[in-house]
Amino acid sequence: MEKKQLGNTGLWVTPVGMGVLTVGRTQLDLPLADGAQLIRYALERGINFFDTAEYYETYPYIAAAPFRDAVISSKSLARGAAGMSRAIEDCRRALGRDQIDIFLLHEIRTREDFQSRAGAWQALVDAKAKGRVRAIGLSTHHIDGAEIAAAMEGLDVLFALINYKSLGIRKGESPGCKEEMAEQLRRTAAQGKGVFTMKALGGGNLSGDYTKALDYVTALPGVNSIMLGMGTERDIDDAVNYTEHNLPRAYRPDVSKKQMFVDQGDCEGCGACIARCTSKAIAFNQQGSAKIDTAKCVKCGYCAYACPVRAIIML
Ligand code: SF4
Ligand code: SF4
C-alpha cells in the first residue's frame, strides 16, 4: 500500500491505520491470541500504522504480533511529568522498543485542560530530546484541542476526530462542526505537522455510508492518514480495499453481526442515552458509566446520536 509522510516527522504511514482499541477490554475484549492475530492480519494486508494508548491496555496484543516495521502511536491521560514519564517507559518496555514512534497527550479538551497537563507535555518534550519518543503531540475530539496543536511550537503531530456528520466533535461544552475542525487540521498541516484522524465512520454509526464517510475525510487538506477501529478481518479488508480503490462506490458493510457498545473510556455518565432508549437496553454500571444489554438492544442507533461525546459505537 502506498505510504505518506506524516508531516515532517520522517515517519511514513499507510493512508489507513488500525485503531487497536477495538480489540481491548473496553470494547471487544478479545483473547490475546485472537487480538494479536487480527493485528498480524492487518500487517499482512499492508497496514503499517497502529494507534493504541496506555488506557486501552492493548500493548500485549501488539507485542504478540510481528510489528517490527510498523509505526506505533500511543498516548497517556497522565497530567503530570512523573505519570507521563512512567507511561512512556511502560510502553517502551511492553512493546520491546527503545523508541516509540509517536506519543501523545490523550484527549485534550480545553485550553485549561492543556495548561493543567503542562508537566506531562514537558515529559514528552524531554523524552523526545532523549530519543525515547520520535514524535510528540496530542489527541483530541475538541476544536479547542486542534487549535492548540495548530498554534503550538514543538508539536509534531495531531490526532483529531472528524467525520462528515460532525458526530462527536466538541467545542467547549457544546457540539463542534466539521468545517471548524477541518480548518484547524489544514492550519496544523500547513506548518509541517503530521495530521491523522479518528472516527471517520462515527464509531461505526456511519457504516451505512461507508465510502462517502471515508471519501470526506481522505479528501480533507492536510490529512495524512485515518485511523479506523477494526474488530474483524472483514473490517481490515474493507479498509484496504477502499484505500486501493477496489471497493464499489455503493458498498455497504454487513453490520448484522455487530453490536452497540459504550466505550467505557469516553462515557461521561450523563444518562442521555438511557433516557433516549425506548427498548430500556441501557443502564448505569457500578462505575457510573452506561452499559448496553445487547439482548434487549435492537440496534436502532438512537442512543449514539443522543450521546454528546459519541461514546456509543457499533462493533
Ligand atoms: S441502539 Fe437503540 S435499542 Fe440499542 S441501546 Fe441504543 S437506543 Fe437502545
Ligand atoms: S449519553 Fe454517552 S456520555 Fe452520556 S451516559 Fe450515555 S454513553 Fe455515557
Specify the CATH number for the domain of residue 269: 3.30.70.20
- Taking the CA of 295 as reference, the closest ligand is 1
Residues 218-255: tens digit of each pLDDT: 999 999 999 999 999 999 999 999 999 999 989 998 88
User: Does residue 253 fall inside a structural domain?
Assistant: no
Instruction: Check whether residue 205 and residue 295 sit in a common domain.
Output: no
Instruction: Check whether residue 217 and residue 304 sit in a common domain.
Output: no
Instruction: Check whether residue 15 and residue 112 sit in a common domain.
Output: yes
Last residue of a domain, one of 243, 274, 290: 243
* CATH number of the structural domain spanning residue 238: 3.20.20.100
Ligand 1, from 256, 258, 259, 292: best to mutate by most atoms within 8 Å of Cβ? Answer: 292
Instruction: Check whether residue 24 and residue 64 sit in a common domain.
Output: yes
Position in ligand 1 atom list of the atom nearest CA 292: 5
- Taking the CA of 309 as reference, the closest ligand is 2
Position in ligand 1 atom list of the atom nearest CA 306: 7
pLDDT for 68 equals: 75
* Residue 267 CB–ligand 2 contact under 6 Å: yes
Strands (E), the chain: 4-5, 12-13, 16-19, 49-51, 71-76, 100-105, 133-140, 157-161, 170-171, 174-175, 194-198, 225-229, 260-262, 282-284, 290-292, 312-314
CA of 303 to the centre of ligand 1 (A): 5
CA of 313 to the centre of ligand 2 (A): 11
Instruction: Check whether residue 237 and residue 264 sit in a common domain.
Output: no
The low-confidence residues of the chain, meaning pLDDT below 70, are none
Q: What is the pTM of this model?
A: 0.90
Residues 61-106: tens digit of each pLDDT: 999 997 778 999 999 999 999 999 999 999 999 999 999 999 999 9
User: Does residue 62 fall inside a structural domain?
Assistant: yes
pLDDT for 204 equals: 85
- Could you give the CA distance from residue 163 to residue 75 in angstroms, rounded to a whole number? 22
User: Does residue 248 fall inside a structural domain?
Assistant: no
List the domain range (segments joined by +) for residue 285.
260-314
Nearest CA to ligand 1 atom 2: 300
CB 252 within 8 A of CB 208: yes
Instruction: Check whether residue 285 and residue 213 sit in a common domain.
Output: no
Instruction: Check whether residue 234 and residue 272 sit in a common domain.
Output: no
Count of structural domains within the chain: 2
pLDDT for 213 equals: 96
Position in ligand 2 atom list of the atom nearest CA 306: 1
Residue 228: name the closest of 41, 20, 10 by CA.
20
Instruction: Check whether residue 51 and residue 115 sit in a common domain.
Output: yes
